[in-house]
Amino acid sequence: MEMLLSTLISALLMGMLFALVALGLAIIFGVMNIVNFAHGEFLMVGMYTAFLTATILSIDPLLTLPVAAMVGFLLGIASYYMLVRYLLKGPMIAQLLGTFGLMIFLRYLAMCIFGPDYKTLEHGLLIGKSIMWGPVVLSYPRLGTAVLSMLAFGIIYWMMDYTRLGKALKATALDVEAASYMGIDTERMRGLAWGLGGATVGIAGALLINFYYVFPTIGILFCMIAFATVALGGFGSIKGAFIAGLIMGLIIDLGGTYIGPQYKFALIYLTFFLVVVIRPKGLFGW
């Protein structure tokens, strides 16, 4: 029984990370109707950034969060201004293959620079420890990740609803033309959306290195997870991304434990497929 509870909670905690990963994608899709195939690669970049910063500067991985966030932010903005901006003018196939090209580029860039090996972190505040909470075992990395993830979510949520910037973003998401008539610089908003998307997933990457391997091809795995999560939560919905992330955590972690780890991928895909066929709008989407 304790085992089940532990696994359950552990899965939920993981789910919060998935939610954070999905958040970036949800923001980008919400503000402009384009899907970022390179999202998983952004995560990978965040992970490598955090990893390198932690190992080179010999600091705790938690301290790399702001660095990863900044790099993610810049990566997102650069992607928008150098590529996506032009893709938006073209047909859908160009948009799809354009961000797909970005994904391939980043993936093999990492492969080229870092080689295909799997790396892990040895030292850190959170690594390898766990605490007992009543009958339940909580792994430190997951707990820390979940807390920070919730914090990040909270900040974004607050920003979207209570700041002028957030409202401008939402306005652009709802109706680009009207927003521009209101004096909102929609180009900047779109760039910002990409920047935010990159930043949130960069933070997720920095958190992830506390308990997961770092390798160049990790992108596609999390890309799938992010897509399935956003599909489940509903494209464009922040609240949806959070809840869907939790559900995904349960499905993947529990499924992995009880059915078999090699089926994790199939489970992700199955979820995605079911959502998209049964309820394409997801739980909260538009």
Q: What's the closest the beta carbon of residue 223 comes to another protein, in angstroms?
A: 8
Distance CA 250, CA 220 (A): 20
Distance CA 3, CA 261 (A): 17
**Cβ 53 vs Cβ 67: under 8 Å:** yes
Q: What's the closest the beta carbon of residue 203 comes to another protein, in angstroms?
A: 24
DSSP state of 138: E
Distance CA 176, CA 189 (A): 10
Residue 147 backbone dihedrals phi, psi, to 5 degrees = -60, -50
Longest dimension (CA), the chain: 59
Amino acid at 225: I
Residue closer to another protein, measured from CB, 144 or 282: 282
Residue 205 has which token pair?
A: 């990457």
Q: Where along the sequence are the contacts to another protein (CB under 8 A)?
A: 35, 37, 83, 86-87, 90-98, 100-105, 107-112, 115-116, 216, 220, 223-224, 227, 231, 262, 265-266, 268-269, 272-273, 276-277, 280
Residue closer to another protein, measured from CB, 35 or 127: 35
Residue closer to another protein, measured from CB, 13 or 21: 21
Q: What's the closest the beta carbon of residue 7 comes to another protein, in angstroms?
A: 23
Query: Could you count the other beta carbons within 10 Å of the beta carbon of residue 255?
Result: 19
Q: What's the closest the beta carbon of residue 156 comes to another protein, in angstroms?
A: 23
Residue closer to another protein, measured from CB, 64 or 99: 99
Residue closer to another protein, measured from CB, 85 or 188: 85
Q: What's the closest the beta carbon of residue 221 comes to another protein, in angstroms?
A: 9
